[in-house]
Structure 1
């Protein structure tokens, strides 16, 4: 049985809609082995113990691409990434499935092969690419293939995920987006994406708050999240360098300097005051990406 560990991811990072993504040190783990026949899935909710399981479907798709026929599969799923919270739980299933299929079939896929297969299954590369490679990435699709590069963030930052106890499906979060945006809004996001990346690379963290603004998706998706504006405001009140909607939401991610030791406790106290159940988790960048665990 092989085991694959996949990090959580936070996509978009403010203005970088559908292209920027970041791997974080929260993980799902997947174990898989080929058996004589059938499908056995454990470790997840009953509704996912079937052929619609995304990890299993990703394995099957990869087998189809490489021309391998598995007799049967036994799968064990575990981990800490919450479902439908904007932290890449679906991406982790896809990445885990592709890598597990590669290991079982001994196909010898390289990183670029895996990144491309994952993006084709997911439909876009912003979450799956950093989940494979680790770190922060910028990814685009060109002629059906992923073109990506890693962004080397200057040391000195950590992140804090403020995770509500309700789900928000990516489909619903997509439905509220406008079909078109204005020229001015396009320029607004392009300029801020450039400034954000520059500030992260050069360590000019005081500029993050200017570069992380967005007019393409957060102003629309925020309307689906109760207390969204209040939590964003409190992130800055408690010393965050920036705050953004993680992926499609509803998790809100704060960007913190490493020396900020008060943020989590202050945020927890604030959340108690509004009588809402939110989890607060301090996270670091995962630099390694998905890994095969060999015992």
Structure 2
């Protein structure tokens, strides 16, 4: 679970409800099923109109990524690449074929397979980087579903408020209903602006960041495997990859540094 996403949503909602209570309001005044249907239903429809089917479906499937923490053990990845480099330097590149079955990361396994098959380094680089770019662009297209929702939700909220005010105007003959009716009408605006700025846009930003981290991880794998193909010393390879990984790579252990 991505604790920052869950905690952020909880803090935002609690802060808003607490502020509402301090102002003398109550939760029931902003819980309006009609406004929710207008805002979330209207936003969903607008996003579906604006987004190709494949991107929309991908975006829906990516929602859980904003609430989960993908397993990206960069330290373990670096260690695995260094071990593979040691095997290749000691026993030759073809010896890596026996290691393929033990590689759990599908992208790393594919890159090592290119190495074992003797694929030209430039061809291997082009193939791997093309796959990385394609995967990243598809992911970003999915994340833009929530970015679009963040753009449409406030406007749909205003639409809901206008519809509510129309209903209020129809009851001008009964002044006792005007205050409550106007308050209910503006709940739709609260839902639209709140959903946009507390949920949809933050989700889009987090998804894009996680996609970028996954892209960087795969680029690290690409550079590491191609360096193995060039016969780079495992110790030098480790230092190079740690520099490329930056803050995402843990400090080398004393055993590794020895």
TM-score, L = length of structure 1: 0.21
Of the two, which has the highest radius of gyration? 2
Higher-strand-fraction structure = 1
Higher-helix-fraction structure = 2
